[in-house]
Amino acid sequence: MEEFLRANYYYLTHGVEILAAVTGLLFYKKFKNTNIKYFIFFIVSIALAELLALYTFYIPNDGAFSFLKGTVFQTNIWWYTIFWKIAAIVFYIFYFIKIIKTKRFLRLLKYLLYVFPSFSVLYIIFNWNDFFIRPFPVINIFGAIIIFMCAIFYFFEVLQSESILTFYKSYNFYIAATIFMWWLIITPLVFYDIYFRYVDWSFIFLQWEIYLFANILMYLTFTFALIWCKPENK
């Protein structure tokens, strides 16, 4: 089983991403008059971004991108930092601003919408030499804290409203619960980045497996919710 997961890691990961994206497009008409349409755009962009990140497979052995060999673009760490660690967090802030109603929560999220990307860009500038060779734990943790805040704000509002009676029918609930669990599982791994730098393959395989199961759970949940949930008013 372990060998199967290692050999098919990328197929399984990108398979569930594409499944969620295709499902979103198929059910777009169902949600086009709700805020969920923004999330559909997002999961489609995830599938495209992940496919673009595969350019590194075409660098070795005189591949199509072999001209990048020996350059800072030989790895795609920089791409994941930009897309997953910064742009994705900015999107989630934007999305929760759309669905949260409590004014004090909205003020804080609108503040973070400007502070987080500004902080991230400045941090990258001052640590430019590391941008292409390793992820930044500070940005990861800051982003995770924001995700937890967004989810908790949403859960608090649900608990304070009549929607608590039908929360399981809300697509927003599945978004909040899933991203909360995903970041809760993944964030601790940033503290062990040193093992990557020293090529501890046991840890690398363990990390792959954690990411794989977390990703499968997340994208299958998004897919299920698109099929199961009914549209909500804006």
For residue 170, pLDDT over 60 is answered with yes
Q: Give the mean pLDDT of 158-162.
A: 87
**pLDDT tens-place string over residues 60-115:** 888 888 888 888 888 899 999 999 999 999 999 999 999 999 999 999 999 999 99
**pLDDT tens-place string over residues 189-215:** 877 765 555 566 667 777 788 888 999
CA 107 to chain centre: 23
Q: CA 62, 63, 64, 69 torsion: positive or negative?
A: negative
Sketch the domain layout of the chain as residue ranges: 2-228
Q: How far is the C-alpha of 209 from the C-alpha of 30, rounded, in Å?
A: 34
For residue 174, pLDDT over 80 is answered with yes
The tokens for 180 are: 């909360």
pLDDT of residue 189: 81
For residue 35, pLDDT over 90 is answered with yes
Read off the pLDDT band of 165 (50, 70, 90): confident
Q: Would you say the pTM of this structure is higher than 0.75? A: yes
pLDDT of residue 10: 79
For residue 31, pLDDT over 80 is answered with yes
Read off the pLDDT band of 225 (50, 70, 90): very high
Q: How far is the C-alpha of 90 from the C-alpha of 95, rounded, in Å?
A: 9
Yes or no: say if 142 and 93 are a contact pair by the CB < 8 Å rule.
no
Read off the pLDDT band of 121 (50, 70, 90): very high
Amino acid (1-letter code) at residue 110 = K
